[in-house]
Structure 1
Amino acid sequence: MNPHALNSIAPRAMMVHLWRYRELIGRMIKRDVMGRYKGSLLGLAWSFVTPIIMLIIYTFVFTVVFNARWGVDGEDSKSVFALQLFAGLIVHGIFAEVLTRAPGLILANTNYVKKVVFPLDVLPLIPLGSALFHAAISTLVLLLAQLIVLGSLPWTFLLLPFVLFPLLVLAMGVSWLLASLGVFLRDIGQTMGLLATMLLFLSPIFYPISALPESFHGLIHANPLTFIIEQVRVVLLEGALPNTAGLLKYLVISLGVAWVGFAWFQKTRKGFADVL
């Protein structure tokens, strides 16, 4: 790449960058995933073990301690709740990893900023790719659990990538934005952990929206995770078709956020070296 070239902020430039550096992005995601488990005895097996353990803990707390149910009578309610819970956690996990890791990406890779001519705009995509990898494994665990508990899988689970795509586009834009802001405002990294926790409990993960008073429905629907969580459950657990019109609207908004995040990153990247 030419270090003296101007960084275009056009929407087309965003797509060109993603395609041009696709191999580099793939290699860095692989290195990030492998580096997380490097030196551990179980290695990549932790990516299976961790979601299973968390599923057991959350299910025990909310079905035994708090006696929560998902509107299903009988003994099957606990199993249904566990599947509903796991589906929501998968969606939240993707967005939460981007929120918590993006602000520190540039700070953790100062050598790319100061010493090397490097396409910095690919760095914010690394946590998203890593989160997607772990979400894929968690989804596999969910499908196996559903097959054991319910005895079958609906064909609509094949539509899951189409349901998640708008969220991934949104997360990409947020990652670009936070990666830049994290250089200039170091407090961003601290607040994102709090925001991720807030989104966890303000999303319909541990409860259905119908269990809340109507006065709170607007707040829950304003959460960007709510719609995707519900649509994931529709295609994975209910065997129904997703809300296509809603997904298209979500995608249009996500593309706008992605472009804003990309443009902001490109405009501010020249100041990274001075601040670092």
Structure 2
Amino acid sequence: MNPHEIAPSSPMAMVRSAWRNKTIIRKMTVREVVGRYRGSLFGIAWSFFNPILLLVVYTFIFGVVFKSRWGATQSPDHGEFALIIFSGMIVHGLFAECFNRAPSIILSNPNYVKKIVFPLEILPLVSFGAALFHTCVSCIVLLCAIIMIKGAVPLTALLLPVVLFPLSLFTIGCAWFLAATGVYLRDISQVTSILTTIMMFLCPMFYPITAIPEDYRSLLYLNPLTLIIESTRDVLIWGTLPSFAHLATYFMLSLVVACTGFWWFQKTRKGFADVL
């Protein structure tokens, strides 16, 4: 890499960078995941304990204490409500972890900016890889819980990667944009945490979308998490096919967000060293 070259910012450059640096991304992702639990008694096993404990709490609170029903569901038995909530929180957690951390990615790694020639554009990918690992662990816990509570996992669960892929592109695009902007505008890290909290309550995570008056339901779909949460429940819990037309539209919009975020990151990266 020549540090004086203009960083390529085309969609093909985005793909080439990820492919060319795939080994670095993999090793740094493993290091980040392991480093998060370094020094703890149970180590990486906490990545399994945390979602299990959350699921147990949700099952007890919603299934036993409140005996909650989801929409027109007649029976609150077997903690199905907890599964519904947990599946939504998995999707939100994948997005929120990357979105909240993105503004500080460059700021927390000044040595990569100042002292060595490093492909900075992979740092958001590393952060996403770590978040994806925890999402996969949570999905394994959820699938085991579905087997225990409902008896079997629907065959449509195989479509979960198809459902999550557009959200992954969208999240990475946002991470690139926020990572670059956070270098110049430090207050943005305060805004992202508030925004992800608002997004959590303005999507059908704790309530069915049918609970919203029909005139306002379309507004919930402006939230990028709504379609993915609904589709995740379709394939994992209800055993129905998602709307592939809506997912295709979401994918195209996510691709635009990813390309735009990468373009912004590459165009602004030359000023990182001066600001840091």
Where structure 2 has 5 or more consecutive residues not aligned to the other structure, the ranges are none
Distance in 2 (alpha carbons) for counterparts of 1:269 and 1:187: 19
Question: Pairwise CA RMSD of aligned residues?
Answer: 1.5
Contact 1:157-1:239 at 8 Å conserved across structures:
yes
1:24-77 deviation line (CA, Å, top 9, x unaligned): 11111111100000010111111111122223334545556666420322242x
User: Match of 1:73?
Assistant: 74
User: Match of 1:182?
Assistant: 182
Distance in 2 (alpha carbons) for counterparts of 1:74 and 1:58: 17
TM-score (norm 2): 0.95
User: Match of 2:130?
Assistant: 130
Distance in 2 (alpha carbons) for counterparts of 1:94 and 1:263: 23
Contact 2:91-2:228 at 8 Å conserved across structures:
yes
User: Match of 1:105?
Assistant: 105
User: Match of 1:221?
Assistant: 221
Question: How do residues 1-276 of structure 1 correspond to structure 2 at under 5 angstroms?
Answer: 1-62=1-62, 68-71=68-71, 72-76=73-77, 79-276=79-276
1:227-262 deviation line (CA, Å, top 9, x unaligned): 001111111112122211111111100000001100
SS in 2 for 1:222: coil
Contact 1:62-1:206 at 8 Å conserved across structures:
no
Specify the code of the residue in structure 2 equivalent to 1:227.
L
Distance in 2 (alpha carbons) for counterparts of 1:64 and 1:212: 25
Distance in 1 (alpha carbons) for counterparts of 2:140 and 2:93: 15
Contact 1:170-1:254 at 8 Å conserved across structures:
yes
Where structure 1 has 5 or more consecutive residues not aligned to the other structure, the ranges are none
Question: Following superposition, which runs of at least 4 residues in structure 1 exceed 6 angstroms of deviation?
Answer: none
Aligned positions, number: 275
Contact 2:67-2:76 at 8 Å conserved across structures:
no
Identity of aligned residues (%): 54
Pairwise CA distance, 1:198? 1.1
Distance in 2 (alpha carbons) for counterparts of 1:253 and 1:73: 37
